[in-house]
């Protein structure tokens, strides 16, 4: 299986899980990764250059997807807008740019680790997931685990990841901190805000988003 890999901090628990899962399953000999930012992973998936990936919700609407995603129940801290009169999209994003338009927020959209770092600086910003929740009272689903094939393996990943409480090894956490410039304790605090199970309430939030685009 060729898996599209986004190396943002929000998927760190999933990557840790997958490393262990592939070692303990028959998939270990066939798992291959292609790494990039969300917008480029979307393209790789559309071109069938990867078999499965977390792709932007806006691109996943007509795709097969598991009950796994990148979900913010309230604030997310890593999808923000820096307020200004002139709007500017984040080239790494798809869903978040559209979300800013839906919410009528003007300014520069930032996503991922750079957005989290900006958030932690304490500078003025608008958290798009928080604003969405305040307006519609639903979690916001930023991405979904979609797949072209390998349905049995994906369902196995979904089942096992959903019931696993992932503990991130200290060496991985330290490496992530060095890579992003974000303190280890801040990474762990941030990850508490991310949910991965597409439960009933998150599914309703996703449906609402699709109605608005």
Q: What long-range pairs does 57-62 form, CB within 8 A, spacing at least 24?
A: 57/95, 57/141, 57/142, 57/143, 57/144, 57/206, 57/209, 58/94, 58/95, 58/98, 58/213, 59/94, 59/95, 60/143, 60/144, 60/146, 61/210
Q: Is the pTM of this model over 0.75?
A: yes
Per-residue pLDDT at 23: 72
- Spans of the chain, pLDDT less than 50: 29
φ, ψ (nearest 5 deg) of residue 125: -160, 165
The residues near 48 (Cβ < 8 Å, ≥ 6 apart) are 148
Per-residue pLDDT at 29: 46
The residues near 206 (Cβ < 8 Å, ≥ 6 apart) are 57, 69, 141, 144, 198
Q: CB of 143 within 8 A of CB of 39?
A: no
How many residues in the chain?
213
DSSP 88: B
User: How far apart are alpha carbons 110 and 118 in whole angstroms?
Assistant: 9
Domains (ranges, CATH) in the chain? 2-70+141-198 (3.40.190.10), 79-136 (no CATH)
Per-residue pLDDT at 86: 87
| Degrees, nearest 5: CA angle 159-165-166 | 105
Model pLDDT for residues 75-85, shown as the tens digit of each residue: 999 999 999 98
DSSP 165: -
Which residue blocks in the chain are alpha helix, DSSP H? 12-23, 38-46, 57-60, 95-102, 112-121, 128-136, 151-162, 170-180, 184-191, 200-212
φ, ψ (nearest 5 deg) of residue 3: -115, 130
Q: How many H helices and E strands in the chain?
A: 10, 9
Per-residue pLDDT at 77: 97
């Amino acid at each position: 299986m060729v898996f599209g890999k986004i190396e943002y901090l929000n998927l760190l628990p999933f990557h840790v899980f997958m490393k262990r899962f592939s070692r303990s399953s028959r998939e270990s000999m066939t798992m291959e990764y292609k790494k990039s930012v969300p917008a480029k992973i979307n393209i790789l998936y559309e071109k069938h250059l990867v078999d499965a990936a977390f792709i932007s919700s806006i691109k996943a609407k007509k795709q097969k997807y598991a009950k796994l995603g990148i979900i913010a129940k309230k604030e997310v801290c890593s999808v923000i807008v820096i307020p200004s009169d002139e709007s500017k999209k984040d080239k790494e994003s798809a869903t978040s740019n559209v979300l800013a338009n839906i919410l009528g927020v003007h300014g520069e959209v930032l996503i991922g680790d750079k957005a989290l770092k900006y958030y932690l600086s304490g500078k003025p910003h608008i958290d798009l997931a928080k604003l969405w929740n305040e307006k519609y009272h639903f979690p916001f689903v930023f991405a979904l685990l979609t797949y072209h094939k390998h349905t049995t393996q994906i369902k196995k990943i979904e089942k096992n990841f959903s019931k696993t409480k992932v503990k991130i090894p200290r060496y991985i956490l330290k490496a992530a901190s060095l890579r992003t410039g974000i303190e280890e304790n801040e990474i762990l605090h941030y990850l508490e805000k991310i949910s991965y199970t597409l439960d009933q309430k998150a599914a309703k939030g996703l449906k609402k988003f699709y109605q608005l685009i």
